A = this chain, B = another copy of it.
Amino acid sequence: MTKRKVAAGSRRKRHDNGSAVVKFGPLADWVGFNLRVAQEAAFQAFSKLSREIGEHPGRFAILTLIAENPGISQTTLSNAAGRDKSSMTPVLEDLVRRGLVQRRKTDSDRRTYRLSLAPAGTRTLAKLNVCARTHEDNLDRAVGPRDRARFLRTLRRIAAALN
């Protein structure tokens, strides 16, 4: 029970280190909980990849959406990214300061900014796309090629149903 050598795989620890065996009970079979765990694991993994090239993981969706929709406004961007418009202020301030994004006022509507990628932004996005490709390969491997399409379809249905 308290022998020096313990069962396979579990290295001897002086204390718990918080890694005791835990029962998850009904949580273990709920879609909501497993969805959260999977998403957080995926985000952590992408986070690590993007930090290796010195970029915040959240910048990827922002830069992609600007690249795909040149001239987009901050509010439209925030809606597409699923974030409040007020959280765009510091993010875009940073991206503009670093020369990745251009922010221009229009003549027609002086309230809105028109956002577009600067050349440096295109280059940064290209590097992030390499990270995303690697990340996606890891995810695909876990999902399996046979189930990928079905899995994507289910995710989209969940998003659509709960909005």
**Which residues of A does B touch, CB under 8 Å?**
16-20, 22-27, 29-46, 61, 64-65, 67-69, 72-73, 75-76, 78-80, 82, 85, 129, 132, 135-136, 138-144, 147-148, 150-152, 154-163
Can you list 10 pairs linking A and B with CB atoms under 8 Å apart? A23-B68, A24-B68, A26-B129, A27-B68, A31-B42, A32-B46, A34-B156, A34-B159, A37-B155, A44-B162
A69 and B22 contacting across the interface, CB-CB below 8 Å? yes
Whether A143 lies near B154 (C-beta < 8 A) is yes
Interface contact B30-A143, CB-CB below 8 Å: no
Chain B proximity of A73: nearest CB distance (Å)? 7
The answer to whether B142 touches A18, judged by C-beta atoms less than 8 angstroms apart, is: no
Taken together as a complex, chains A and B put the C-alpha atoms of A131 and B39 apart, in Å, by: 21
